[in-house]
Amino acid sequence: MAGLNRDWMARACESIPGGVNSPVRAYASVGGTPRFITEASGCWVSDVEGRRYVDLVCSWGPALLGHAHPQVVAAVQAAAARGLSFGAPTGAEVELAERIRARVPIAEQVRLVSTGTEATMTAVRLARGATGRDVIIKFAGHYHGHCDALLVAAGSGLATQGLPGSAGVTAAAAADTVVLPYNDTTALREVFASLGDRVAAVITEAAAANMGVVAPAAGFNAELRRLTHEYGALLILDEVLTGFRVSPAGWWGLEAGVEQPDWAPDLLTFGKVVGGGMPLAAVAGRREVMNLLAPLGPVYQAGTLSGNPLATAAGIATLDLADAAVYALVDRRSAELQALVGEALSRAGVPHVVQRAGNLFSVFFREQPVTCYADAQAQDTEAFRRFFHALLQRQVALPPSPFEAWFLSAAHDDQAMEVIADALPAAAQAAGR
């Protein structure tokens, strides 16, 4: 069996660019050979060589309940027996939208799509259609999917007009995107003072989790709300990662409160958990904005597989099962793991910072806290690479990048935590070499 992962990677590279269908899977940040997974159950994944790993990726977030939860699988199997896709409305679409609205009351209407990229792309188009303006403000280090307008890199100065961050993205597509440092309210106010009447929307991760986990500074999201309201722009809160994971109502519910929120965005985007592991995402928000979508309004969006019956079945089952006990367990396991990691790295004398946003967390290999993308980039990525591989050798699978959140599930039991705890001292020593 030895070498089967390498064999599969070589075979994959012949048919698939880079051997993967999403770049981070290629292990480019950490080196080595990606593990080709054959099955997953609970908090464990198994590769083609028969090795099992405690999984701290959780499919990049969706597996809140653990992999292959029997009730979620049964719901998908029952839906599949009735047909894989209809290209017509179903009751399940309505039921999932109702569940989203019940958890996030400011989501007055919901449009289901297939990916987080589709959701953010639609939200941006909606904002431009609602305001008649072109400029979008985003933050360096925030990832909102691979739509052209948001694949831009930050330049020098407080704010720069966006430059394409990917080949194939035209300068024209990126020209109306302004990139700012995260958590910098001064830069934000200066841009609004200069460009306020041209700004359609500010889009922000509810809590940053795509450059490692960097929570918004106290009052930052509320200031985004205040400024966008003052200048007639919309606020888009990207909860693709945080939605229904860090709390029943995502980061917005955790920070602002659900019943009488301190602030509320105009639009939200959801993915990951909302699809229960199936390809499903959503854009939601104020009724008067959402009603601008076709067929009611002039903003066009469509998708043959949007609201797919298998995906909606998985989403409904996941949200129904994700009760208060589930969130309490994930919160507890996350706190436990943060402590274990911090203690191991401290004993080994490895500079590090453990940062969290709710039950999401990550480890930065540096001495000072991270508040923005420049901080996140100024870490010892080689230390992370050594740490990653030392854990992988000991049956613990981390996200293969130093710029990702770590994920736990309700299936991470005492046995799994013991495996991680046993692996951490050697991994910490490896990181410090």
Cross-strand partners of 332:
none
HSE-up of 132 (CA within 13 Å, CB side)?
Answer: 1
* Helix, strand, coil share of the chain (percent; to 5): 40, 15, 40
H/E stretch holding 75 reads: helix 70-81
Which entry of 27, 138, 266, 272 is annotated as an active-site residue?
272
Q: Could you list the beta-strand ranges (E) of 117-225.
A: 135-139, 152-153, 160-161, 163-164, 177-180, 199-205
- Residue by residue, DSSP assigns 339-362 as HHHHHHHHHTT---EEEEETTEEE
Encoded tokens for 92: 């399940």
Give the span between the Cα atoms of 357 and 254, in whole angstroms. 10
**What is the rounded distance in angstroms from the CA atom of residue 291 to the CA atom of residue 282?**
15
End-to-end CA distance of the chain: 31
Question: Which one from 143, 182, 327, 373 is the annotated catalytic residue?
Answer: 143
The span from the CA of 39 to the CA of 258, in Å, is: 37
Annotated catalytic residue, options 47, 184, 238, 380: 238
- Residue 238 catalytic? yes
> Distance between alpha carbon 56 and the CA centroid of its chain, in Å?
14
Q: Between β-strands 177-180 and 160-161, what pairing exists: parallel, antiparallel or unpaired? A: antiparallel
- Torsion over CA of 256, 261, 266 and 267, rounded to 10 degrees? 50
* CB-CB contact of 188 with 227 (8 Å): yes
Q: Residue 138 catalytic?
A: no
Close Cβ partners of 328 (under 8 Å, ≥ 6 residues apart): none
Catalytic residues: 143, 238, 272
